[in-house]
Structure 1
Amino acid sequence: MEGYLSSGPQKADKDAENQKNKQEHPRTRIETDAIHVGQEPERWPGQAVVPPISMATTFKQLEPGKPVLYEYSRCGNPTRQCLEECLASVEKARYALTFASGLGATTTLMFMLKSGDHILSIDDVYGGTGRLFRRCMAQMGVESSFIDMSTDASTVVKHLKPTTRLVWIETPTNPLLKLADIEQIATAVHKHDPKIMVLVDNTFATAYFQNPLKLGADLVLHSLTKYMNGHSDVVMGCLMMNNEEYYKQLSFLQYAIGAVPSPFDCYLVNRGIKTLAVRMKQHMANGLRVATYLEQHKHVERVIYPPLESHPQHDLYKKQMSGFSGMISIYLKGDEVEKSKRFLGHLKLFTTAESLGGYESLIELPAVMTHASVPEEHRRQLGITDGLIRLSVGLEDVQDLIDDIEAALDFAFSSTDAK
């Protein structure tokens, strides 16, 4: 540990300079960056076109206390570095750090706070994030408040406290797909107090459709488990930023806390992100077709999908996003849990499962699945009812998906089955 404390900051300085130089003058677009940045064959013996998986846990030092670049795999790994450089490029960030999960990234970030600090979070936040704030950070003396950020920035500023250290935005939200104006909120918060960090969870939109750092956010979080990897075979998270001091602090915390991903998982995400652009285009095409179909269906009370003109924040969607993923939320008529379960149980192509963003179509009932840990009263206030269903529309043939939904809805609402 003594050796790391003396050499670690030097390595962080070197990593910061390397990532900063790569990202300050981007020449290419996201489709190209995802394939080339961090993947240079010249950095590997034999000039491998695909970055190898470096499984080494430790690295030879030419003399005691002076590692060449990597010292111990928890504080740095060649395969992980390739991925982090690539991720930074697609999010238009200077720096990226990867973690063993999205919540691992969030937990590591929490160590930048101290007892007595306050987090102001959007109300319709991912269930795991809310659980961490309410049940874990509260035990550490960190207070959290949850408010609707889909109105305007003045609402956010009104709820800031002298102890507020972090404003947590998720946009679009999970599962109600509410939007928050990142630029407006970030500008207002930083004007109120430049020291408050503004973070955006960009998981649902992805770096392909939304770049929060360009809109004024300080930090961007992704659950790489979802769309950024896109293959439902890795659990991982990341934090990205432009602020060098935040990067140095989080680099130390990443090493000190240890929620780092395996080299093999880094390899898989590095592979998955190569097809991010083509996947997201198809996710949106399929999602829009399914959402438009559902909006006309007699058994559907309401469809929530930002690209639809019926979405209450459609104008904001057009302002800050270039498109959207395959995430759709719907309310079935009747708002009955048994009817919702019959619908999910009769689907053949949509798999009832938690998570989202893979190539396969998934569906879930948030009230009893992903958001069951949210207090019941809070769920009711948000509108997470027994009739709310969340779909992650995949890459299958879209007409096959629509046919599957049609048959399941007919079954769920059939007079014979409803008796």
Structure 2
Amino acid sequence: MVHGSGEWEDQTGCISIPIYQSATFKHKGLNQSTGYDYSRLQNPTREELEKTIAKLEGGKEGLAFSTGMAAIDCVARLLKPGEHIIISDDLYGGTYRLFEDVYKVYGIESTYVDTTDLEKITMELKDNTKAIYMETPSNPMMKVSDIGKISALAKEKGLITIVDNTFLTPYFQRPMDFGADIVVHSGTKFLGGHNDTLAGLLVASREDLIEKLRFTQVSIGATLSPFDSWLILRGIKTLAIRLEKQQENAKHIALWLKNCDAVEKVYYPGFKEHEGYEISLKQTSGFGSIISFTVKEKKAIGKVLEEVEIVTFAESLGGVESLITYPYLQTHASIPEEIRNRMGVTDKLLRLSVGIENVNDIIYDLSKSLN
């Protein structure tokens, strides 16, 4: 992680890859190219990031986009009108909005399924099903899907398996080791790690998929800028130490929340009683630092969000600063209320992204409003 792809060299001996802030590149003559023509097509800084994330995930190639949603949009364009995709029913609201409000218009069918249940997935398969898309752990209910079993089912049926690995990153989870074809990241989150840039990343394990994804990437043009590529590369250098500290903090905070009188239930895969605990032990090397929890009384929501000082009330997650979010009205507002309530994304749910601050300071900050 610290040294990136290991493929980049420069005669100057730079330790940090330069930011190639150039829109276009000089040709020496007709049919002569350095390999770089125009930065929408490729840029040396972005290329280093793409090689780095591919190496970390164990895939053939990576692709970097201007946002996480641009990366998911590129995946969605693998589907043709009349084709069908199965998607985790507990997922980021922006992903739901993309498939329901954008691609549904173009004839792409979507079915939302509890992907922790292989039987339910099997029951929803159709003749026109082409892919299975899952978040694991899911956002925000922290449900864990068995990547290996789902990938095996998909291969048997000739389907593409897509895994959103934003919450754990390749440091804690490598979906391709369990058969996934495409891995998705919002690089804005843990990979960047500092809440200072937007980015999306894809990694693919199959040449046929890479060719299609790359064509869409350069045709649509939502590619990551050189400077933002450099910021994500810089973030990846400290990914391991950040995630270890954030997870250590999260374990203490999750246990404290579990014993807090104002809290009704805590959703954290690191608890042995969590439904996905055994699967997590099999396919991950860590549980991450995202915790969701419900409070017993709705009035506590406003109190927490207004009174926290060290923890920041803001959308997003994965940065060094602890952030708390109200999914019901923020990240999942685009999902119909009936579905939100069924999934557990109620008006009493909060999602906490644990940062690297002193854990006692975080707990004290939360206790002021919860106790």
Same fold (TM over 0.5): yes
Q: Which has the larger radius of gyration?
A: 1
1:35 — aligned with what? 2
2:133 — aligned with what? 168
Q: CA separation in 1, counterparts of 2:6 and 2:236?
A: 12
The alignment partner of 2:142 has SS state of coil
2:283 — aligned with what? 320
Q: Contact 1:40–1:49 (CA<8 Å) still a contact in 2?
A: no
Deviation at 1:143, TM superposition (A): 0.9
Alignment of 1:101-116 (within 5 A): 101-116=67-82
Deviation at 1:310, TM superposition (A): 2.4
1:131 — aligned with what? 97
Which whole-Å deviations, capped at 9, do the CAs of 1:134-162 have from their partners, x for residues lacking one?
000011111111011112x2321221111
Q: Which amino acid counterpart does residue 341 of structure 2 have in structure 1?
A: R
Q: CA separation in 2, counterparts of 1:368 and 1:36?
A: 40
2:303 — aligned with what? 342
Q: Contact 1:230–1:359 (CA<8 Å) still a contact in 2?
A: yes
2:264 pairs with one of 280, 293, 301: 301
Deviation at 1:62, TM superposition (A): 2.5
Deviation at 1:378, TM superposition (A): 0.7
2:174 pairs with one of 205, 208, 211: 211
Q: CA separation in 2, counterparts of 1:400 and 1:391?
A: 15
Q: Contact 2:46–2:226 (CA<8 Å) still a contact in 1?
A: yes
Note if 1:367 corresponds to 2:328.
yes
2:155 — aligned with what? 190
1:278 — aligned with what? 241
The alignment partner of 2:338 has SS state of helix
2:88 pairs with one of 110, 117, 122: 122
Which whole-Å deviations, capped at 9, do the CAs of 1:75-105 have from their partners, x for residues lacking one?
1000001111111111122210100111101
The alignment partner of 2:54 has SS state of helix
1:244 — aligned with what? 207
2:111 — aligned with what? 145
Q: Contact 2:300–2:370 (CA<8 Å) still a contact in 1?
A: no
Deviation at 1:130, TM superposition (A): 0.4
Matched-pair identity in %: 40
2:312 — aligned with what? 351
Q: Contact 1:39–1:51 (CA<8 Å) still a contact in 2?
A: no
2:46 — aligned with what? 80
Deviation at 1:40, TM superposition (A): 5.3
Q: CA separation in 1, counterparts of 2:215 and 2:7?
A: 26
The alignment partner of 2:105 has SS state of helix
Report the count of equivalent residues. 371
Q: Contact 1:228–1:276 (CA<8 Å) still a contact in 2?
A: yes
Structure having greater relative contact order (Cα 8 Å, sep ≥ 6): 2
The alignment partner of 1:401 has SS state of helix
Unaligned 5+ segments in structure 1 are 1-33, 411-419
1:30 — aligned with what? none
Q: CA separation in 2, counterparts of 1:389 and 1:379?
A: 13
Note if 1:330 corresponds to 2:293.
yes
Q: Which amino acid counterpart does residue 123 of structure 2 have in structure 1?
A: K
1:27 — aligned with what? none
Q: CA separation in 1, counterparts of 2:329 and 2:187?
A: 24
Deviation at 1:262, TM superposition (A): 0.6
The alignment partner of 1:260 has SS state of coil
Please, what TM-score do these two structures have when normalized by structure 1? 0.87
Stretch of structure 1 that moved more, 55-64 or 213-222: 55-64
Q: CA separation in 2, counterparts of 1:128 and 1:66?
A: 43
Q: Which amino acid counterpart does residue 322 of structure 2 have in structure 1?
A: S
Q: CA separation in 1, counterparts of 2:357 and 2:342?
A: 35
1:154 pairs with one of 119, 125, 132: 119
Note if 1:256 corresponds to 2:219.
yes
1:147/1:40 Cα in 2 relative to 1: closer, same or farther (>3 Å)? closer
Which whole-Å deviations, capped at 9, do the CAs of 1:297-354 have from their partners, x for residues lacking one?
11111111001112122111111111022100001013x2x32111221111111100
Please, what TM-score do these two structures have when normalized by structure 2? 0.98
Greater helix fraction, Structure 1 or Structure 2: 1
The alignment partner of 2:234 has SS state of helix
1:100 — aligned with what? 66
Q: Contact 1:203–1:223 (CA<8 Å) still a contact in 2?
A: yes
Q: CA separation in 2, counterparts of 1:82 and 1:241?
A: 16
Which whole-Å deviations, capped at 9, do the CAs of 1:232-283 have from their partners, x for residues lacking one?
0110001101111211221111111101011000000000000011111111
Q: CA separation in 2, counterparts of 1:167 and 1:227?
A: 24
Stretch of structure 1 that moved more, 262-271 or 110-119: 110-119
Q: Contact 2:328–2:345 (CA<8 Å) still a contact in 1?
A: yes
Q: Contact 2:147–2:179 (CA<8 Å) still a contact in 1?
A: yes
Q: CA separation in 2, counterparts of 1:62 and 1:110?
A: 38
Q: CA separation in 2, counterparts of 1:219 and 1:325?
A: 21
